[in-house]
Homo-oligomer: A and B are copies of this chain.
Amino acid sequence: MINNIYKFPAKTDWENLIERPVLEGKNLRNFVQDIFTEVKQNGDSALKSYSEKFDGVKIEKFLVSKDEIEIAEKEISEDLKNAIKQAKCNIFKFHNSQQQEINKIETQPGISCWRESRGIENVGLYIPGGTAPLFSTILMLAIPAKIAECKNVILCTPPQKDGKINPAILFTAKLCGIEKIYKVGGSQAIAAMTFGTKSIPKMDKIFGPGNQFVTAAKELAVETGVAIDLPAGPSEVLVIADALANPEFCAADLLSQAEHGADSQVIFISTDENVFEKTLKEIKVQIEKLPRNEIAKKALENSRFILLDSIESALDFSNQYAPEHLILSIDNPENYIDSIINAGSVFLGNYSPEAAGDYATGTNHTLPTNGFARNYSGVSLDSFVKKITFQNLSEIGLKNIGKSVELMADAEGLFAHKNAVSLRLKFLENGI
């Protein structure tokens, strides 16, 4: 189970250690392309036949009714409702704090420049069904969408075999103000939001996790001009622990990542041999109690357990790996923040487990995986808006840069660009 142990590896070996497990080249593109073509051509009737084929259920009406939502509300315990509400409150606070005031800059006298945010008008959220109903992801996507004032926010999620949707999903969606919830899943749901059908409107941007079919479908959606949240990849955590770390906590954090999926990757780096060995032992103890331990065991096979000589080395390794989640179970973690260059979300100290951020601290759990923390940010309020630039030049403003624009346009061989300024400058000379 834990075979990948590396004690003080040479820097030249790091290149191999930061490698992700290679995903099998699953050739789903043609399969999903056929579904896209079918949904584009036949709309709702294609969706119905895919629901029957893939979800094993006949769906007459995709839109979840108000009655269904009311019934769902009664099926959830008050405790869970309150937990979801508490999480919502924190996620709202953090994402609302990401709003930016308009900042008008006078770059030169008479030239005023600024940006304004506008919510993306049509935003589609995809929430997978299956064994683990990810209602927490609804919070992560719907709350910033509402803060951004996106005009239409819809949710697609696959029906259970009985034609119903998990009540926690319905409750959370309603709590977040989503009025349109559709019983449709898989790549056909992504196709529906890409092209629009009679029941399901066409979207500008699609968010949310999913299996390999959904991932392939989101890639196809991008090719037709729909934006998506992030490129997909298996989830991962990197834990750095010094002598003051608690091996029990470290093991639990590593396992909470490992249980996500057999393709998850966990990396454990310690600067202390005692904590290192104890954590390995503790993993073996804790894993046996997990209902999803078969998954977690497979994930551990993809994983790495590394002893390094200093926190600086550990962070150097982490920056090269660019983890989705980074946990610093070390003394005074604040001192090392400036050294963190590539990571999705960072958890500081012994009382900041990844699970807290996955659900309720307020930060977003939709994060760049698979090394994308090098070149992408996680989902935030920014993901739901476009920023439009504005400029307003007075007569003085145009006079101030007119000559420069003429010269530059001329040097780039764009005479009409030059002329647009020259005509105005001439008019101002003669007119004023």
A residues whose Cβ falls under 8 Å from a Cβ of B = 79-80, 82-84, 86-87, 89-90, 93-94, 97-98, 100, 103, 105, 107-108, 111, 113, 115-116, 118, 120-121, 131-136, 168, 204-205, 222, 225-227, 231, 246, 248-249, 252-253, 255-256, 258-260, 286, 289-292, 296, 333-334, 337, 340-364, 367-368, 370-378, 380, 382, 385-395, 397-398, 401-405, 407-409, 411-421, 423-424, 427-428
Contacts and interface: CB of A to CB of B under 8 A. Distances in A.
B346 A391 contact: yes
Nearest to A343: B388
Contact of A204 (B136, B362, B375, B391): B375
Given A353-B424, A356-B393, A360-B408, 4 more contacts: A118-B340, A249-B427, A346-B388, A382-B387
B389 A337 contact: no
16 contacts: A83-B407, A87-B401, A132-B414, A204-B375, A205-B375, A249-B427, A256-B420, A258-B416, A260-B414, A289-B415, A333-B392, A352-B391, A355-B409, A355-B421, A357-B391, A378-B389
A90 B107 contact: yes
Given A342-B121, A360-B405, A374-B120, A421 B353 contact: yes
A349 to B, nearest CB: 6
A133 B413 CA distance: 8
A231 to B, nearest CB: 7
Identical copies of this chain, number:
2
Q: Is the interface of A mostly helix, strand, loop or mixed?
A: mixed
A90 B111 contact: yes
Contact of A359 (B205, B258, B408, B416): B408
Contacts of A363: 113, 389-391
A29 to B, nearest CB: 11
Contacts of A256: 414, 416-417, 419-420
Q: Which 10 A-B pairs have the closest CB atoms?
A: A83-B404, A107-B362, A90-B107, A227-B375, A252-B420, A355-B417, A83-B407, A256-B416, A353-B420, A348-B392
